[in-house]
């Protein structure tokens, strides 16, 4: 199929609200491990898709999906051993009292459900979220996703706080704003329900807050009677290379954890995990059911992903390869003045591009050019941040040292080309 013809068919059949990556859209037809392949057979190193957490089309995951699909697929109103086993296994990865699972099909649905729980438990409806955050597509969570939601459509019950970014002048102290945001909500007549934030701030430019940030922020929301919600949809399931879940690095335990993208390795699987006490209080006021979430097929896929993570030493690979990638990026930083800041951990990295290091003036045009140049050279990555000047590197977790070398070499050529 000719790409131009397919693009025209897409334009006629699908909403213009959809967006495509790259100035020359990419027609991918196959994936394997950390690689994607286009309709002509060209290979691309995928440094962007965290959905395929243990690699595109991992045979263990594909087999689990096919086997359970051929046996039975229903929903949570019937007893299912795989579903219960997956809930047990998932809960075992979390610390503290976090041990009760509720399944959804996407991270958006998970965050929406977390808000329902927080409202029921706190008695409030006020939300504290981070400037330029993104938490999903449902009508509710879109309202506390300032990256996408127009300012004039943000609800009165939302109060935003600054993202913790030392490079741009709002570091650890940004956590103090949460208590102030709760007070501001109260003055407007909104009792605080929750503070929700990513555990690594992707849309804010791949920021990894220091542990004290979460401790202070969570203390602020809890003092106001709300719940602390850790959005692990992007940073969770070993991506940061230190723990299974990114929030663990701070030595704190949230009231609710939401998770999505990597759980199903491409199959729609997401979850909310909370404490028995919070789950019980919610259940006294509401029931919960989702037709497709928590199916035996979804659970079987989730179990296979957890098996692969354990048996293939995924966390150790992320730790080791992440450090190796970081060392390569630091060498580029020494040589190229356009690199203003490097940030991130494990296999979640950001490169902030600036016109010069003295002024720190954002350089979104160079970020765009590098993204397009790397796509032409067979490497896929993204651009993020409020100024659209941060290169986002977020590959499948099977990313290897050889893959890191290829990425560094391709980035080096692109940076030389820009000079």
Choose one of 262, 286, 311: the last residue of a domain.
311
CATH number at residue 389: 3.90.1150.10
Q: What integer is the mean pLDDT of 387-398?
A: 98
Same domain, residue pair 110 and 177? yes
Q: Are residues 9 and 134 in the same domain?
A: no
DSSP class of residue 33 equals: B
Check whether residue 29 and residue 77 sit in a common domain: no
Q: Is-contact 173 213, C-beta < 8 A? A: no
What range defines the domain where residue 38 resides? 3-54+313-418
Residue 252 sits in the same domain as residue 389: no
pLDDT in tens, 52-84: 999 999 999 999 999 999 999 999 999 999 999
Q: What is the pLDDT of residues 135-148, one digit of tens each?
A: 999 999 999 999 99
Q: What are phi and psi of 145, to 5 degrees?
A: -125, 75
Tell me phi and psi for residue 317, to 5 degrees: -65, -45
Between helix 296-311 and helix 59-69 the angle, nearest 10°, is 160
pLDDT at 205 over 80: yes
CATH of the domain at 234: 3.40.640.10
Examine the domain organization and report whether 317 and 301 are in the same domain: no
Q: Can you state the percent helix, strand and coil of the chain, rounding each to 5?
A: 40, 20, 40
Say yes or no to pLDDT of 50 above 80. Answer: yes
At residue 390, the pLDDT reads 98
Q: Is residue 403 a contact partner of residue 394, using CB atoms and an 8 Å limit?
A: no
> What is the predicted pLDDT for the residue at 252?
95
Whole-angstrom distance, CA of residue 72 vs CA of residue 273: 25
Q: What is the pLDDT of residue 2?
A: 83
Shared domain check, 70 and 30: no
pLDDT of residue 206: 96
Boundary of a domain, candidates 311, 336, 367: 311
102 and 248, same domain (yes or no): yes
Query: Per this entry, what is the length of the chain?
Result: 419
- pLDDT at residue 319 in the model: 98
Same domain, 362 and 325: yes
Q: Higher model confidence: residue 172 or residue 379?
A: 379
Residue 173 has pLDDT above 90, yes or no: no
CB 111 within 8 A of CB 102: no
Q: Is the pLDDT at 171 greater than 80, yes or no?
A: no
**What is the mean predicted confidence (pLDDT) over 331-346?**
97
- Position of tokens 């979220």? 129
Number of domains forming the structure of the chain = 2
CA 229: distance to chain centroid?
A: 14
Same-domain status, 47 and 86: no
Q: Is residue 186 located within the same domain as residue 298?
A: yes
> Tell me, what's the pLDDT at 419?
81
Asked if 81 and 47 sit in the same domain, the reply is: no
Among residues 291, 311, 331, the one where a domain terminates is 311
pLDDT in tens, 270-296: 999 999 999 999 999 999 999 999 999
Is 380 in the same domain as 405?
A: yes
Which parts of 211-297 are beta strand (E)? 227-231, 256-259, 270-274
């Amino acid at each position: 199929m000719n790409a131009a013809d397919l693009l025209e068919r897409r334009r006629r059949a699908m909403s213009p609200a959809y967006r495509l990556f790259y100035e020359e859209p990419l027609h991918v037809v196959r994936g394997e491990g950390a690689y994607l392949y286009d309709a002509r057979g060209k290979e691309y190193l995928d440094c962007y898709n965290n959905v395929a957490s243990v690699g595109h089309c991992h045979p263990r995951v594909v087999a689990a999906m096919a086997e359970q699909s051929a046996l039975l697929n229903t929903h949570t109103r019937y007893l299912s051993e795989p579903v219960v086993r997956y809930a047990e296994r998932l809960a075992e990865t979390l610390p503290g009292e976090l041990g009760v699972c509720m399944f959804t099909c996407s991270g958006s649905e998970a965050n929406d459900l977390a808000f329902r729980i927080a409202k029921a438990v706190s008695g409030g409806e006020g939300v504290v979220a981070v400037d330029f955050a993104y938490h999903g597509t449902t009508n509710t969570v879109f309202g506390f996703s300032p990256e996408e939601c127009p300012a004039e459509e943000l609800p009165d019950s939302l109060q935003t706080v600054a993202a913790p970014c030392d490079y741009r002048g709002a570091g650890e102290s940004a956590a103090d704003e949460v208590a102030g945001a709760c007070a501001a909500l109260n003055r407007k007549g909104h009792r605080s329900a929750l503070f929700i934030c990513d555990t690594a701030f992707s849309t804010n430019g791949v920021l990894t807050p220091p542990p004290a940030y979460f401790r202070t922020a969570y203390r602020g929301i809890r003092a106001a009677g709300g719940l602390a919600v850790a959005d692990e949809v992007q940073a969770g399931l070993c991506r940061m290379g230190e723990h299974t879940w990114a929030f663990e690095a701070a030595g704190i335990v949230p009231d609710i954890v939401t998770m999505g993208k990597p759980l199903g390795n491409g199959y729609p699987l997401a979850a909310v995990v909370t404490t028995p006490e919070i789950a019980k209080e919610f259940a006294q006021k509401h029931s919960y059911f989702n037709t497709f979430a928590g199916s035996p097929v979804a659970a079987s896929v989730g179990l296979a992903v957890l098996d692969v993570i354990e048996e293939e030493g995924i966390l150790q690979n992320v730790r080791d390869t992440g450090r190796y990638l970081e060392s390569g990026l630091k060498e580029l930083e020494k040589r190229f003045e356009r690199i203003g800041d490097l940030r991130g951990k494990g296999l979640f990295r950001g490169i902030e591009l600036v016109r010069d290091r003295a002024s720190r003036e954002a350089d979104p045009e160079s970020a765009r050019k590098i993204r397009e140049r790397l796509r032409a050279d067979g490497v896929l990555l993204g651009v993020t941040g409020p100024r659209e000047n941060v290169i986002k590197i977020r590959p499948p977790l099977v990313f290897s040292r050889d893959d890191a070398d290829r990425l560094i070499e391709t980035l080096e050529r692109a940076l030389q080309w820009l000079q």
